[in-house]
Structure 1
């Protein structure tokens, strides 16, 4: 039975055994549900994860919604599924469980001699939640058998209901990789249902079909989640735009791929939207045609082009849901970037002027 004797304060150094004795849960898995305590205990060890092909775990750069921590789900071989511990973490809110993040930090000392033992020490980071807007990403990584597969990379945020903010250290935010690498990957993956069974965060079976890697499997344009609705709507619109244009290119007989880029010093990979292998065109899509989004897309394309291994005549293109107007079309033309917009009848291209 849990004793609840351990006080979880961010920065606390403890062991998995002490946590289990206080709150329940096992001591060997990366994601341990503690049912009686209504907790999900998450143990992260970025250095150990490297050996198993997990190069994603750790604190990412803050985005428009604040701090973000990546955590790779369970499953050493084959495509990871939203079952077991992964399901418990994904639907912790539906099950009314809090999430608590620990990061491996050295080795526990012997209680008498003070010498190092073989027990991994855990530093308590704080209480977290799975991101409402984008709970997880699908990424390509090698499994324990060396085969490439799809892994689930959870996006964890500080829980606004927690008594204390999470406490990260410098090494949590630094990617251990020393090289920059870009690999070409498929833009489709086995589709996962993103609804819990019986509303309790249980196992979720793989569903037939395919979905863009950078999106979740959604069937509606709107959401009832308690997060900024406009941002989610824009993300959905962007994902649907990418899917529609991908289908358009494939109908023309084109091969469509994407790139996953691992950059030294950056936690989590960069991911391009679409790469038309047939015409050697790299696309960045946006959910709106606002000036700020067009400017961002230009920067992203320039950044991606530095890293990907494509033929020298690679062309850049921006995919938008509508016409951004004359001035922004002129801007893209001056940057030698193709513009593709969605129309009532399909898609329209605006090629940059030839020099």
Structure 2
């Protein structure tokens, strides 16, 4: 018969020493990989997170795939990273599937009576969301300095412990903050980054096309998130190849167009939006500060994707304002190819423009800026 101290199931409360005996890892730090136990143990302390400008926990809003637990990466000061020693813990989370490790989440709930020893509630096993494994977010830390953090999106992998005490606090008011454009750039951390989903190289042509080609060449050096075969196998999502391709194409399309905007002297960024009463954080695809133009990009030009983009940009544009621009922004949908003609009519009826990429790599649309 298995003794209680020899096993830990969701809902159990244990000290870190007891957790280490079962799942390995360290008794120090927030992200604790365990090679022999094939585990990555994630420790969340609400008091520490709040002091550093973020909250870990369940989102109250679920999507069609179910619940999401947000976990903020390692690094208490400055921008978090995947690189070097400082990024080793974040890499361990990102690569858990291809390395055959299980993510296990624990949250600090108390202390042993008459002791400084903390106790932790075991929430269960998780895996990274397949299509959006993490997002970049801007927070204001304890010193009030703005910094970028990595927020991992974790999906339950079996039975988990959920309670109201582990839910991200709802926003007390609606806020919309202009932040630097940041994208998922994990290709260099994958064991097989060959399938980066790059868009075709831009051919020679007009000055605008040459600028776009240069932007695409620069973009190719930075990498974009790819899903390795091991990752796909862990997620059991081999049938969703088209979705993965669309995600990669969207990232490449956005980055290439942003590079073009910058090449003609435009300032770019994105908006981070929190809506009163919600726990989730919204983030726009791209914002042209020079033109006060908001972009929503899609990796395909199908009717379904255009309609989705239209809904998203109508939603986000309600909040996008700056000190210089108190009026609503221009609303533009960015597509990898020309959509059906009636999609232009649909978007025009909502005062939304379309920009799409032609076969020779240039971008077409009345809203495309020129030198």
User: Does TM, normalized by the shorter one, top 0.5?
Assistant: yes
The 3 A distance-change label for structure 1 pair 283 and 306 is same
Between the aligned partners of 1:198 and 1:350, the Cα distance in structure 2 is 40
> Is 1:291 aligned with 2:289?
no
In the alignment, structure 1 segments of 5+ residues that lack a partner are 111-115, 200-208
Between the aligned partners of 1:41 and 1:4, the Cα distance in structure 2 is 20
Asked whether the 8 Å contact 1:191–1:211 carries over to 2, the reply is: no
The 3 A distance-change label for structure 1 pair 190 and 322 is closer
What is the 5 A alignment of 1:209-220?
A: 217-218=223-224
Between the aligned partners of 1:219 and 1:171, the Cα distance in structure 2 is 33
Match of 2:357 among 336, 342, 345: 342
What is the 5 A alignment of 1:314-353?
A: 314-345=329-360, 346-349=362-365
Counterpart secondary structure, 1:233: helix
Give the CA deviation at 1:192: 5.8
Q: Deviations over 1:169-197 (max 9, x none)?
A: 23434434423222111214796654268
Give the CA deviation at 1:333: 0.8
Between the aligned partners of 2:156 and 2:124, the Cα distance in structure 1 is 8
From the two aligned structures, give the one with the greater helix fraction: 2
Between the aligned partners of 2:106 and 2:318, the Cα distance in structure 1 is 36
How many positions carry a matched residue from both structures?
A: 325
Aligned twin of 1:204: none
TM-score using structure 2 length: 0.77
In the alignment, structure 2 segments of 5+ residues that lack a partner are 194-216
Match of 2:152 among 147, 154, 165: 154
Aligned twin of 2:92: 88
What is the 5 A alignment of 1:10-49?
A: 10-49=10-49
TM-score using structure 1 length: 0.80
Counterpart secondary structure, 2:278: coil
- Greater shift, 301-310 or 323-332, is seen at 301-310
Q: Deviations over 1:190-234 (max 9, x none)?
A: 9665426899xxxxxxxxx9979xxx93288x8544232111100
The 3 A distance-change label for structure 1 pair 328 and 191 is closer
| Aligned-residue RMSD, C-alpha | 3.1
Between the aligned partners of 1:257 and 1:219, the Cα distance in structure 2 is 19
Q: Deviations over 1:25-62 (max 9, x none)?
A: 3233111123332221111234531210114x222333
Aligned twin of 1:140: 138
What is the 5 A alignment of 1:188-267?
A: 188=182, 194-195=188-189, 217-218=223-224, 224=229, 225-226=231-232, 227=237, 228-267=240-279
The 3 A distance-change label for structure 1 pair 189 and 296 is closer
Q: Deviations over 1:138-163 (max 9, x none)?
A: 2222344432222111121222xxxx
Aligned twin of 2:129: 131
Q: Deviations over 1:291-342 (max 9, x none)?
A: 2222222222222123222321521111112222122211111101111111
From the two aligned structures, give the one with the greater strand fraction: 1
